[in-house]
Structure formats: structure tokens, C-alpha cells
Amino acid sequence: DVVMTQSPLSLPVTLGQPASISCTSSQSLVFSDGNTYLNWFQQRPGQSPRRLIYKASKRDSGVPDRFSGSGSGTDFTLKISRVEAEDVGVYYCMQGTHWPRTFGQGTKLEIK
Amino acid sequence: EVQLLESGGGLVQPGGSLRLSCAASGITFSGYGMNWVRQAPGKGLDWVANISPTGDNTYYADSVKGRFTVSRDNSKNTLHLQMNGLRAEDTALYYCVRGSMGPDYWGQGTLVTVSS
């Protein structure tokens, strides 16, 4: 199975400051069609997960542009340019290239 | 508006069975692969199973292979998860999720508790 490793697991951030989460996969996530199926999800307290980023860097409709995804192959990053109070929650990466699908452990973002 | 509504959760004894359902609306259900993803209390996300748009192909996490069966009825826009041989470690909120490679829409989940 592809192991997805996130860091850090806990991320205290001051409002208005940037934040960055790393996700590393144990195998390349490039699919045979040339796409890289790496997704980022946000789960706010008490809510279902919401997808923010797909194909490593494509932002979903309605997602603020302060969120961005980057990376290729096995190394990926989610960046928040300026953290707002509504960004509190747990962030997960998930690979959609290989079976079985696998998630990272989650990164808990809190306001410092 | 896309809606995924799970049902069928509850309290079951170890070794017992449950059948979860997910009713989809606002989407062309037959055009998408569908997943079940679970989340144990206070824990992270755990992918469980996937079924292709036509139902011809299914995939499972090793932890549930041989015990769980995913199926779908495209005529009724409904996804199912038959869970047999339930264990305490299967206790979780089970989400119905659309999309095989880039899951996008999630339901609110249905809670399964396995306990004697």
C-alpha cells in the first residue's frame, strides 16, 4: 500500500500568518494518464471533510485563493498564505492513483 | 445541489451484520465511482471501499476484504455497504463519497458502533 506521511501533525499558527503542510507518498502518484491524483481535504470541527485541492494543484470551486497546492511525484505541499479563524480544523492528503486509496494521518491546524 | 444521505448505522454486537445505504441526488449517479470512507471517534480518515460507475469493479481496504461488500443500484441512485463479521475496530462514522480518483462530495455520515 502507498503510505502517505504528513508533517507536521500539529500546526499552531498566528492569525494572518502563512502555514504549510507537507505530504510525502511512498510511491510516485503519477497515473498512467499523466495526471497526479493527490487531493487535499479540510475537516472543520463537527463537519464532513471538504475537498480543497485535486490533481495536486487545482483548487476546487469556492475555495479561497489563499489555499494553494503544489508538488509532484512523491512530495506535495498545501499552503495557506494568510491563516484566518475559519481555517481551524484537520487537513488530510489522500492519493487517488493507487489501490487501495490511502490518507495521510492528518494535520491539526489551530490558532496560536 | 449534490446530496449524499447515508443511513443504516446503529449498534451491533461483535460478529453481527449491518447494511449501510447512501441515497444520492443532484448528480448523474451512474457516471461516478463511489466510495465508503470511515472515521473512528477522534481518529483520521480511513478509506474502506470503492465501486466503479457500472458496478463491474470493486476495491477494498485489506482490513475489510472478505467481510464487507460494496454494491450499487443505478436505477435507484443508491450505494450500499454490506458489513458482516463486524469487529470493535469497525466502530466509526461511515461516509459515502463521490469520485474514485479525486473524491469531492461527502455525505454527513452514519454511525456504526460495534459493542457487546
DSSP per residue over chain A, as a string?
Answer: ---EEEE-SEEEE-TTS-EEEEEEESS--B-TTS-B-EEEEEE-TTS--EEEEETTTEEPTT--TTEEEEEETTEEEEEESS--GGG-EEEEEEE-SSSSPEE---EEEEE-
In chain A, positions 48-87, which contact chain B (CB-CB < 8 Å)?
48-51, 54-55, 60
B72, B75, B76, B81: CA torsion to nearest 10: -10
Low-confidence ranges of chain A (pLDDT < 70): none
| pLDDT for position B27 | 85
Name chain B contacts of A1, Cβ cutoff 8 Å: 62
Name chain B contacts of A49, Cβ cutoff 8 Å: 45, 95, 106
Of B46, B95, B100, the CB nearest to A96: B100
Contact A49 B50 (CB under 8 A): no
Other beta carbons within 10 angstroms of residue B63's beta carbon come to: 14
Name chain A contacts of B61, Cβ cutoff 8 Å: 100
Each residue of B18-59: pLDDT tens digit?
999 999 999 889 999 999 999 999 999 999 999 999 999 999
Contact A48 B109 (CB under 8 A): yes
| pLDDT for position B84 | 98
* pLDDT score of B86 more than 90: yes
Query: Average per-residue pLDDT in chain B?
Result: 97
Total length of chain B: 116
Does residue B44 contact residue A92 with C-beta atoms inside 8 Å? yes
